[in-house]
Amino acid sequence: MKMSICALPVIAGLAIAPLGLGGYELSVLMTILFYVILTLGLDLVTGYCGQFSFATGAFYGIGAYTAAIMSRDLGTSIWWHLPAGALVAGSFGLLLGIPALRLTGHFLAIVTIAFQTIMYLAISQWTSFTGGQVGLHVESAGKLAVFGTTLFELGSLRSYYWLTLGVTTVCVLAAWRLVNSRLGKEWVAIRDDETLASAIGLNTTRGKLTAFVAYAALAGIAGVLTAHSLRGVTPDDFTIWISATVVAMMMLGGRGTFIGPIIGAVVLAIVPEFLGRYAEYKMLIYGTILVIGMTLVPEGVIGRLRRSASR
Amino acid sequence: MDLFLQYLVNGAVTGSTYVLVAVGLTLIFGILGVVNFAHGEFYMIGGYAGIFAVTAMNLPLLPAIVFVLAVAACVGLAAEAILHRPMKDRDATSSIVSSFGLAVALQNAALIVMGPQPQRLNLDASKMPLLSELPTEFGPVFLPHQRMLIPLTMVALIGALYAVLRYTWTGRSLRAMAQHSTVARLCGVRVDRVAMVTFATGAALAGIAGMLMSSVFLVYPIVGNMIALKAFTVVILGGMGNVIGAAVAGLLLGVIESLTSAYVSNSTRDIVGFVIVIGVLLFLPNGLFGKSVGRS
């Protein structure tokens, strides 16, 4: 409950932000929101359930390509793409969750990297379906209509920002509800000791699979939002480096905490904007953060703060 | 049939590089329990070091190989200091994230320093000692000297490694660590030194693979991604920590890929390995040659 009281002013501030900000600042804010969704999703599966995944970029891409291909072949609007993206990415998440039932730690990490690579190869080489290296153009998001009455068009940057903010809020709330539900507690139990969790009668199969599906579905939603925001998708937007970025955001903030990954996503998504012409050093910085962070503060900044506060 | 033999040989050449990379990876995992996702970057650095030695320093082949071995071994020592030493008392998963971070950092450092365009190592075949005397055609099979060099080096290095592991004190202490690190430590094995030797050896083998391969294919900053994945495939097929298994599985993967690209399609070539590895992990979690050892 305390959390929601703190969150309200933040959401309200973000909601009135477009009135005072220009196009550039709004795009940066939107990028931050995409990364917040991605990082929270990864935190569910890695932070709470303890299953490593380096395939965030793949699920992100699956969501984005779902939107692009539906928009090309069916001419649908974003209202269809959001649930479809979550559904398709979630199904692939279920698929990736199946090896996770038998594999742990490094074996699982290898399989997720393999999945990420297969997905990239598939997207970039199946030219007739995905447009290959050139990618696909995506139509504008459509409009917000109630019973045929158009409330407002989502073509403009400002209205699209509000849509993104709304969807992100829903995602964050859903993740918050999930980690505080019985299911979320089961995830933590699996992370802390899987043998013990199954010994006390928890269904670890269900626990792991649901964590993977929730993670993949959130990444898929972020992908749909991104596809309509960029008005196009290319394979290189969804490489393993996206996965690395999201892992860095989560680790920096603190895996297994709720607010930590959000803060990590905000900080690391803003950093490149201040690098200016040094923006090409972005991934070098993220990689270094992973190495140094893992060595010095493996529990992340928020995790470390909590630990020292509880002493 | 003639073409089939050619495909087999091509596969064995590619497979030899997989063996060189995978043996180091499997040693590092088997002895130290570190999953080194930055192993492909040793290959990439070896490729660039080879180009530097041959083009900028004008070294002949053998000194160039020694130079690459030395550079890659130093990189391996640095990686050990980053990935293994600070993590010794942590759980195994810590090295997953930090080595993944190291891989990303090294790739992007290479991207900034060397640029994204692929580069080739120009090895002049006529200047290679001994090798240039050999024929390049064996019946229906055509095998240029640059390619021939790869399996030959692989056999020489892996043979040397096997002998070292089998007959020297260093080798014995490495194997002792792999069997049981605590007991090895109690028996007086110098664990720090073993860790450094392991990383240096693994990196040197991968570096040589990168150098030799960049005279056939090209080297570019993210070349290590795919190579590391292939090496992981091989390591899993051969059984984690099993050197002989890695050697057999590496050649096998090379041949399978070569045949796939010849008879199925070129675009499925890279995918086939991953499909195999996911299948193997699901049905034979200890690899094709792995002993079934309970993991906890």
pLDDT at B147 over 50: yes
Shortest alpha-carbon distance between residue A288 and chain B (Å) = 6
Domains along chain A with CATH numbers: 2-310 (1.10.3470)
Residue A63 and residue A223 in contact, taking contact as beta carbons nearer than 8 Å: yes
ipTM: 0.78
* Alpha carbons B74 and A256: distance in angstroms, whole number: 36
* Alpha carbons B271 and A44: distance in angstroms, whole number: 29
B98 in reach of chain A (CB within 8 A): yes
Residues 6+ apart with CB under 8 A from A97: A208, A209, A211, A212, A213
A182 in reach of chain B (CB within 8 A): no
B109 in reach of chain A (CB within 8 A): yes
Q: What does the pLDDT average to over A172-187?
A: 91
From chain A, pick out residues whose CB is under 8 angstroms from the CB of B37.
109, 113
pLDDT at B294 over 50: no
Shortest alpha-carbon distance between residue A117 and chain B (Å) = 8
Q: What does the pLDDT average to over B11-15?
A: 90
From chain B, pick out residues whose CB is under 8 angstroms from the CB of A102.
281-282, 285
A248 in reach of chain B (CB within 8 A): yes
Cβ-based burial of A4 (10 A; exposed 0-12, middle 13-18, buried ≥19): exposed
- Cβ pair A110:B277 closer than 8 A: yes
Q: What does the pLDDT average to over A85-89?
A: 93
pLDDT tens for each residue of B90-136: 766 678 788 888 998 999 899 888 888 888 887 766 666 666 677 77
pLDDT at A248 over 70: yes
pLDDT tens for each residue of B224-235: 888 888 888 888
Tokens found for residue A115: 């999945």
* Alpha carbons B10 and A286: distance in angstroms, whole number: 38
Element (H, E) at B208: helix B191-213
Interface test with A, best of B83, B87, B104 (most A CBs within 10 A): B104
- Among chain A residues, CA nearest to B271: A118
Residue B45 and residue B106 in contact, taking contact as beta carbons nearer than 8 Å: yes
Domain extent listing, chain B: 15-223
Residue B236 and residue B228 in contact, taking contact as beta carbons nearer than 8 Å: no
SS3 annotation, A202-254: CCHHHHHHHHHHHHHHHHHHHHHHHHHHHCEECHHHHCHHHHHHHHHHHHHHC
- Cβ pair B101:A106 closer than 8 A: no
For tokens 């690391």, name the residue: A268
The one-letter amino acid at B255 = V
Q: How confident is the model at residue A153 (pLDDT cuts 50, 70, 90)?
A: low
Residue B60 and residue B127 in contact, taking contact as beta carbons nearer than 8 Å: yes
* Alpha carbons A226 and A37: distance in angstroms, whole number: 11
Integer CA distances (angstroms), B225 to A212, A240, B40, B265, in order: 24, 9, 6, 22
- Among chain B residues, CA nearest to A113: B229
B115 in reach of chain A (CB within 8 A): no
Write the DSSP symbol of residue A143.
E
- Among chain A residues, CA nearest to B284: A102
A189 in reach of chain B (CB within 8 A): no
B102 in reach of chain A (CB within 8 A): yes
Q: What does the pLDDT average to over B264-268?
A: 77
- Cβ pair B101:A295 closer than 8 A: no
B281 in reach of chain A (CB within 8 A): yes
What pLDDT score does A41 carry? 94
Q: What does the pLDDT average to over A11-17?
A: 79
What pLDDT score does B290 carry? 58
Residues 6+ apart with CB under 8 A from B214: B47, B50, B51, B119, B120, B121
Residue ranges of A 61-100 with Cβ closer than 8 A to chain B: 99
With both helix axes pointing from N to C terminus, report the angle between A240-253 and A300-310 in degrees, rounded to the nearest 10. 20
- Cβ pair A251:B87 closer than 8 A: no
Q: What is the pTM of this model?
A: 0.84
Residue A205 and residue A66 in contact, taking contact as beta carbons nearer than 8 Å: no
From chain B, pick out residues whose CB is under 8 angstroms from the CB of A286.
101, 104
Using DSSP, state whether B226 is helix, strand or coil. Answer: helix
- Among chain A residues, CA nearest to B282: A99
Shortest alpha-carbon distance between residue A20 and chain B (Å) = 36
Interface test with A, best of B37, B95, B97, B295 (most A CBs within 10 A): B97
CB-nearest to B109 from A284, A293, A294 is: A284
pLDDT at A36 over 70: yes
What pLDDT score does A293 carry? 82
Residue ranges of B 214-253 with Cβ closer than 8 A to chain A: 225-226, 229, 232-233, 236
In percent, the amount of chain A with pLDDT more than 70 equals: 93
